[in-house]
Amino acid sequence: MTKLTLSTHPMLLGFDQLERLMERAAKTDLGGYPPFNIEQTSDHSFRITLAVAGFSEADLEITVEDRQLVIRGRQSDPSDDRIFLHRGIAARQFQRSFVLAEGVDVAGASMENGLLHVDLNRSQARSVVQTIKIDRG
C-alpha cells in the first residue's frame, strides 16, 4: 500500500509547501523557556506574549524568515562584579519559532512589564471566482 501525503495525492496539487511547513512546525521545540501565550485578539488578529523578564529591548531580535517568526533573546553580561548567593532568574539565551500561515503578517511588537507582545494580523482573503476560457487547438 502506498502512503499518500499532501504532495502525492492526485487531487491535491501544489500543497508540497504546506507539507514542508507542517514538518517544520512538528520539529519546533516547545520547551518551557521562555514561557509564552498565544491569544486571539479579534477575528483576524493574534498576539504572542513571551515572558522575558530581565531582557531589554536591545537584547531581543524579532525576524520573519521564510514564513517563520523567530524571536531570539541574548542578554549581555553585566560589567559589574556582582556576587550572587542565589541565582534563580534565568539569564540564558533563547530562540522561539512560530510558523506563520500564508497571509499572516507581523503587525508590530511592544514590551510591557517584562512581557514581549508580538501582534499578528491575518489578511482577509476574498473568495475569487475565475472563469477559464477554452481555446480551440
Chain segment 6-62, per-residue pLDDT in tens: 666 666 667 676 677 677 666 666 567 899 999 999 999 999 999 998 899 999 999
pLDDT band with cut points at 50, 70 and 90 for residue 132: confident
- E strands, the chain, in order: 36-42, 45-51, 60-64, 68-73, 94-99, 104-112, 115-122
Mean pLDDT of the chain: 83
Is pTM, for the whole model, over 0.85?
Answer: no
Question: Residue 126's pLDDT is what?
Answer: 63
Q: Which domains does the chain have, with CATH numbers?
A: 1-30 (no CATH), 31-77+86-122 (2.60.40.790)
Q: How far apart are CA 112 and CA 120, in angstroms?
A: 17
Question: Residue 7's pLDDT is what?
Answer: 61
Query: In the structure grid, which three cell numbers stand for residue 120, read together?
Result: 499578528
